[in-house]
Amino acid sequence: MALQEIAPGVFVETEHLGSNNSIVSTRDGLVLIDSPHRPTDAMRWRRTAAAMGEVAFLINTDHHIDHTMGNYFLPGTVVSHEITRDRLVNHAPSKAYVEDLITVIDPEGLPLIRDYQVRPPTVTFVERMALDVGGLRFDLTHRPGHTPNSIYIELKSLGVLFSGDLFCEIGLPAFVEAHVYEWLEAARFLGTVDAEWIIPGHGKVSRPRDVAVFRQKMEDLIGQVADGIAAGEPRDVLAERIRFEDLIHISTGGSPSYPDHLIELFQHKSIEAIYDQTIERQCT
Ligand SMILES: [Zn+2]
């Protein structure tokens, strides 16, 4: 594992399978951003945090399991968008899904999830929220894209922005629940922000200018789907044919990869989502 301190008191771990995980140290405790996916990583992360202080807040950038599963293992008040809470309270993945997944990606972590329960946010917001903790101000902003409830977090005094999966340096994440065209707008916006560093949802710590590469990958994929639509290819044929490189769900930091059938499912559903929203856009 490679914990980097990218600004005074801002620590980022980019080698967990699942989301990047950050710890911001303030005078009044720690603010964590996204929690580890694998239970063994989450337990280690808990110890890393404990060595720095008490966890005051834990912010989730979306509801996906790779950003929220570790909430269960960590202390602190969980904060996120109100739809993130709704998704985790009312539509969480089944116990069987979670166990099957952990069996593959973290077999040693299985005993840790015997009593596992989703730990949803208890403090939520709709458009924006400011958290002032120990002399640092965290600006949380709702920006639909990767999910309807995606948020990004700015730590303006330190020139740091946490983008969640609105930007992934490592490559494209799933479009399964995406607002595809709003996401493109969000990526355009993130490329222009006045920040020294962008901490992506997955991949290396980046600069705002690096978002252009990611945006181009999105545009290329959307373009492939649009070309297929223009050529009259049906939805199911396109969803079978078009594939993009998935570097999000594969072995990271020595962990195993996601099972192939899930990677395939994400791809399939991603192309369908892009197809549906491209058709919808052409009709309006
Ligand atoms: Zn993610």
Residue 26 pLDDT > 70: yes
Give the per-residue pLDDT at 248: 85
Q: How far is residue 193's CA from residue 198's CA, in Å, rounded to a whole number?
A: 9
Measured over the CA atoms of residue 183, residue 185, residue 188 and residue 189, the dihedral's sign is negative
Task: Using the mean position of ligand 1's atoms as its centre, give its distance from the Cα of residue 230 in Å.
Answer: 31
Task: Using the mean position of ligand 1's atoms as its centre, give its distance from the Cα of residue 267 in Å.
Answer: 14
Q: What is the largest CA-CA distance in the chain?
A: 60
Is residue 62 a contact partner of residue 179, using CB atoms and an 8 Å limit? no
Task: Using the mean position of ligand 1's atoms as its centre, give its distance from the Cα of residue 202 in Å.
Answer: 6
Give the per-residue pLDDT at 96: 94
Q: What is the pLDDT of residues 216-255, one digit of tens each?
A: 999 999 999 999 999 999 999 999 999 988 888 888 888 8
Q: What is the pLDDT of residues 184-209, one digit of tens each?
A: 999 999 999 999 999 999 999 999 99
Tokens 């856009």 found at: 281
Q: What is the pLDDT of residues 97-153, one digit of tens each?
A: 999 999 999 999 999 999 999 999 999 999 999 999 999 999 999 999 999 999 999
Altogether, the residues listed in the chain come to a count of 284
Task: Using the mean position of ligand 1's atoms as its centre, give its distance from the Cα of residue 173 in Å.
Answer: 7
What is the token pair recorded at 72?
């269960």
Task: Using the mean position of ligand 1's atoms as its centre, give its distance from the Cα of residue 114 in Å.
Answer: 24
Task: Using the mean position of ligand 1's atoms as its centre, give its distance from the Cα of residue 148 in Å.
Answer: 14
Residue 1 pLDDT > 70: no
Task: Using the mean position of ligand 1's atoms as its centre, give its distance from the Cα of residue 112 in Å.
Answer: 22
Give the per-residue pLDDT at 228: 97
Give the per-residue pLDDT at 143: 98
Domains of the chain from N-terminus onward: 3-211 (3.60.15.10)
Alpha carbons within 13 A on the beta-carbon side of 42: 28
Q: What is the pLDDT of residues 48-106, one digit of tens each?
A: 999 999 999 999 999 999 999 999 999 999 999 999 999 999 999 999 999 999 999 99
User: Smallest Cα–Cα separation from 248: which of 238, 263, 229?
Assistant: 263
Predicted TM-score of the model (pTM): 0.96
In 16-109, at which residue ranges do the beta strands (DSSP E only) sit?
21-26, 29-33, 55-59, 77-81
Task: Using the mean position of ligand 1's atoms as its centre, give its distance from the Cα of residue 263 in Å.
Answer: 13
Residue 167 pLDDT > 90: yes
- 176, 180, 197 from 266: Cα distances, Å: 6, 15, 29
Give the per-residue pLDDT at 253: 82
